[in-house]
């Protein structure tokens, strides 16, 4: 069985998360899948962001879209209260504040003057690389406990699927969410697409009918893969997942010793902020390495 390396938010430990340059560098490093997060703006544009409010860690205000903009500063505001044009005023290329308590700030290359991209821009980038071997893992950010910040799950899912189809990427993509309503909608709208039910202890209660057999509940919700936080993965969970017919992709694993334990338990994928570290582990264990994607050629070459 092939065991995959999934670049988390591109590769958050190496380059600014959920950005075009981050995705570009991660593809050139080599991963089986690019994972990134999507939310909906006030003008119904799909943008890459992990948080439903503008994060002060990954985003910095530069200037307002126009003088006297009442929503400025944008940091701290809800993503769905701001337009794409307003969000594009942010610099998302430098992790802040840079201090010792944030391991990613110490290892992440700063790329100042980077803008928040749309989903369409990322899909266009991947197509420009002709990266057919890289699967796109699109996490739809949705929190049913905060409906004021969250898009309608059915309409949101449909918009993402339509964008994937528009760029010819529907057959080589996966839909991910902690909100299993999105998993169920994706199963109905695009039954051929992979669907990852994300789970962690803090958000399991979001989903109805989750008992002691979480993998079976995820399967019944429409999932094709179970994607748990690493602290939840043990022999019992792996046995339940196998009985439910689900592969397991574990997140977020940055330590190679932990990754080795996960591999020994039989996971099918490791989600990591440091795909460079995982590539070394894969090489040591004789596992199939994902091929790096070649750099873009200049026009006319």
pLDDT at 291 over 70: yes
pLDDT of residue 296: 80
Helices (H), the chain: 20-29, 84-87, 103-107, 119-128, 153-166, 180-189, 214-221, 235-244, 256-265, 275-285
- Please report whether residue 214 resides in a domain: yes
Residue 96 lies in a domain: no
* pLDDT value for 96: 85
Give domain status of residue 216, yes or no.
Answer: yes
CATH at residue 19? 3.20.20.190
Residue 36 domain-assigned (yes or no): yes
Summarize pLDDT for 177-195 with one digit per residue, the tens.
999 999 999 999 999 999 9
Q: Judge whether 246 and 225 are in contact, CB under 8 Å.
A: yes
Calculate mean pLDDT across residues 216-232.
98
pLDDT at position 186 is: 98
228: Cβ contacts below 8 Å, ≥ 6 apart: 198, 199, 200, 214, 237, 248, 250, 251
pLDDT at 299 over 70: no
pLDDT-above-90 percentage for the chain: 93
Asked if the model's pLDDT at residue 8 lies above 90, the reply is: yes
Determine, yes or no, domain membership for 106.
Answer: no
Question: What domain count does the chain have?
Answer: 1
Question: Is residue 250 assigned to a domain?
Answer: yes
pLDDT for residue 99? 62
pTM of the model: 0.97
Kindly tell me if the per-residue pLDDT of 103 is higher than 70.
yes
| Domain enclosing residue 39, as ranges | 4-55+116-285
Residue 245 resides in a domain: yes
Instruction: Say if 108 falls within a structural domain.
Output: no
pLDDT in tens, 29-53: 999 999 999 999 999 999 999 999 9
The pLDDT value recorded for residue 113 is: 97
Q: What is the mean pLDDT of the chain?
A: 96
Query: pLDDT tens-digit profile of 123-168?
Result: 999 999 999 999 999 999 999 999 999 999 999 999 999 999 999 9
pLDDT in tens, 63-90: 999 999 999 999 999 999 999 999 999 9
Mean per-residue pLDDT, 202-225: 96
């Amino acid at each position: 069985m092939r065991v995959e390396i999934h670049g988390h938010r591109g590769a958050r430990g190496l380059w600014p998360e959920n950005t075009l340059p981050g995705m570009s560098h991660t593809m050139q490093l080599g991963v089986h899948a690019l994972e990134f997060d999507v939310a909906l703006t006030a003008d119904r544009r799909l943008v890459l962001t992990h948080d439903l409010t503008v994060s002060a860690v990954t985003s910095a205000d530069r200037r307002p879209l126009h003088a006297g903009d009442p929503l400025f500063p944008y940091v701290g505001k809800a993503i769905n209260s701001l337009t794409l044009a307003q969000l594009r005023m942010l610099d998302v290329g430098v992790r802040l504040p840079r201090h010792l308590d944030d391991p990613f700030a110490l290892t992440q290359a700063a790329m100042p003057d980077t803008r928040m991209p749309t989903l369409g821009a990322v899909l266009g980038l991947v197509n420009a690389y002709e990266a057919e071997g890289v699967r796109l893992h699109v996490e739809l950010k949705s929190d049913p406990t905060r409906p004021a910040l969250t898009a309608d799950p059915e309409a949101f899912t449909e918009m993402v699927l339509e964008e994937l189809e528009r760029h010819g990427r529907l057959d080589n993509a996966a839909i991910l969410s902690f909100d299993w309503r999105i998993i169920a909608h994706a199963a109905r709208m695009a039954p051929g697409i992979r669907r990852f039910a994300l789970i962690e202890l803090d958000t399991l209660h979001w989903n109805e009918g989750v008992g002691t057999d979480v993998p079976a509940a995820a399967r019944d919700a429409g999932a094709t893969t179970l994607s748990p936080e690493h602290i939840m993965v043990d022999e019992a969970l792996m046995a339940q997942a196998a009985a439910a017919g689900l592969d397991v992709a574990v997140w977020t694993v940055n330590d190679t010793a932990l990754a080795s334990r996960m591999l020994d338990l039989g996971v099918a994928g490791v989600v990591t902020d440091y795909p460079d570290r995982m590539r070394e582990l894969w090489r040591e264990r004789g596992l199939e390495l994902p091929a790096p994607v070649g750099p873009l050629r200049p026009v006319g070459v």
